[in-house]
Chain A
């Protein structure tokens, strides 16, 4: 059997609406999950830099717990486990929730590290000018940290999109699920997975490139700052 026979590509082309729907599902799921992970990451990351011990403990607990669990187990527990507790979140919600919670932990680390990379003197100077902790964060630290945070944040977005393929296991209807179901029906695995590669690459590569550019810009900016000191 030829893995790449012409009629397989033909069949794939005819099924394009199916794959377009899968692509849409991947994009929407990833976008919402990214939003959730940014909120979680911002809150948990900020707690990690807070001057209060309990806040830092919350940060460590969350990050350690989530970063040391495989995403697959998180998905399985929520999908198969929650209904037994009487909570029935639809498949789509489980997908967004899992990716958001999972990447939220990584983004929290990115944000914490970004904030901590800003020199202590900045905070002390703000305090000396009568800023409160929250105000100093908002007006002095975060705007500077943002430049440091953005490149790794973008890389997290890339990771998140790639990890959305895991949702195949709960039949989330995203690209990987569509591909597996369709190729499973007719065994046209060759063209199907090549298409999925191409689609994932088309989603992720521009983001990764953008992250690289941001990083270079950040390095240049920091370099000038160091020289200015």
Chain B
């Protein structure tokens, strides 16, 4: 039953993935491990990773070249180097994910890791393994310039568009309480829908992590200065793959300590 349902939930997506990963290569000089999951990845010769394709600087697909690149893609490369001993892009298979699909794709094994602006929280920790945070982002608001909003206070009594499957709504509710204002919500399936709703004046503000909002900033919109509800991004793995989770966490911590993370953050203009 479990298998049937999960394949129904993500069947289409995994089909797309199957088509994507052909030609397996022989295991090379990656990390030594007896763990079946790590061995499977090594036998495959490719690390399957879920990344964002619509978040500038983190995971973004170039419209012209169709290539996905960003800070989080570099993290995937670093992990592939550790696990597979290879540093070329043939060692990684990038799967574009959304906040809605990333968890399910991990659950059914379509992807090995998720590096996709995935906020760590206690509830999610019961469902997936998370690495220690590699980046902290804050929630903010994207509003239309003609609306005249200057700060979150101006959003009192207004409607805020958020995407389903994000931690945004809860963070805003907490912050609104603090600021003693009341806001209304419209929950839409994805970020593009929320942006369209903002353009259509269906909502007064579009709210999510600042990094994600940057991907939707245009001539008619602007970001409010408010920053709250720090969102710690971690790399997620399937809850059962504890050995893989440890490798991932070790790499992240090493990069945090030896300055590699700083270098990457600077490279992408995030620091």
CB within 8 Å for A189 and B127 given contacts A169-B193, A177-B187, A180-B189: no
The reply to whether the CB of A159 lies closer than 8 angstroms to some CB of chain B is no
Which of B9, B103, B186 interacts with A171 by CB under 8 Å? B186
Q: Is the CB of B202 within 8 A of A83?
A: yes
**A171 engages B187 (CB within 8 Å):** yes
B197 in contact (CB, < 8 A): yes
- A:1-58 near B, CB below 8 Å: 1-4
Q: B186 contacts A91, CB within 8 Å? A: yes
B123 touches A186 (CB 8 A): yes
Cβ < 8 Å to B, chain A residues 176-194? 177, 180-181, 184-187, 189-190, 193
Partner of B189, one of A81, A82, A168: A168
Range, interface on chain B: 20 to 34
8 Å CB interface, B118-147 against A: 123-124, 127-128
Given known pairs A1-B239, A184-B100, A187-B103, the reply for A80 and B202 (CB within 8 Å) is yes
Q: Please state if B164 and A184 are interface contacts (CB–CB under 8 Å).
A: yes
Closest to B239 in A: A1
Given the complex of chains A and B, what is the CA–CA distance between A85 and B46 in angstroms? 50
A187 partner residues in chain B, CB cutoff 8 A = 103-104, 124, 127
**Once the chains bind, are A190 and B5 in contact (CB under 8 Å)?**
yes
Partner of B6, one of A3, A171, A177: A3
Q: Contact check: which of A3, A168, A185 meets B165 at CB < 8 Å?
A: A185
Could you say which of A79, A84, A88, A181 contacts B164, with CB atoms under 8 Å apart? Answer: A181
Q: Which residues of B contact A189 (CB under 8 A)?
A: 9, 104
Interface size on A, residues (CB 8 A): 26
Q: Closest residue of chain B to A4, judged by CB?
A: B2
For the complex formed, measure the closest distance between the CB of A32 and the CB atoms of chain B, giving whole angstroms. Answer: 20
Q: Within the complex, which residue of B6, B107, B165, B200 is in contact with A184, where a contact is CB–CB below 8 Å?
A: B165
Partner of B187, one of A1, A2, A79, A181: A181
Q: Say whether, besides A3-B5, A186-B123, A189-B9, A79 and B202 are in contact (CB < 8 Å).
A: yes
CA distance A181 to B169 in the complex (A): 11
A153 within 8 A of partner (CB): no
**Which residues of chain A (66-89) have a CB below 8 Å from chain B?**
79-84, 88
Would you give the shortest CB distance from A140 to chain B, in whole angstroms?
A: 49
Distance A186 CA – B104 CA, assembled complex (angstroms): 12
Q: Per-residue CB proximity of B75-106 to A under 8 Å, as 1/0? A: 00000000000000000000000011001100
Docked-complex contact B188 and A83, CB < 8 angstroms: no
Q: Does A170 have its Cβ within 8 Å of any Cβ on chain B?
A: yes
Q: Smallest Cβ distance from B190 to chain A, in angstroms?
A: 9
- Interface status of B246 (Cβ within 8 A of chain A): no
Q: Is residue B43 within 8 Å, beta carbon to beta carbon, of the partner chain?
A: no
Q: How far is the CB of A127 from chain B (nearest CB, A)?
A: 53
What distance in Å separates the Cβ of B256 from its nearest Cβ neighbour in chain A? Answer: 27
Assess the A180–B200 pair: CB atoms within 8 A.
Answer: no
- Contacting B197 at CB < 8 Å: which of A80, A186, A193? A80
* B201 beta carbon closer than 8 Å to chain A: yes
Q: What residues of A have a CB within 8 angstroms of the CB of B270 in the complex?
A: none
Contact B107 A1 (CB under 8 A): yes
In the complex, the 5 A-B pairs of residues with the closest C-beta atoms, listed nearest first:
A184-B165, A184-B164, A83-B200, A171-B186, A181-B187
Could you list 19 further interchain pairs (A-B, Cβ under 8 angstroms) beyond the known A177-B187, A187-B124?
A1-B239, A2-B2, A3-B2, A3-B6, A4-B1, A79-B200, A80-B202, A81-B200, A83-B200, A83-B201, A84-B200, A88-B201, A168-B189, A171-B187, A184-B164, A184-B166, A185-B169, A185-B170, A187-B103
Q: What are 10 pairs between A and B in contact, CB < 8 Å?
A: A4-B2, A91-B186, A168-B189, A180-B164, A180-B189, A185-B165, A185-B167, A185-B170, A186-B123, A190-B5
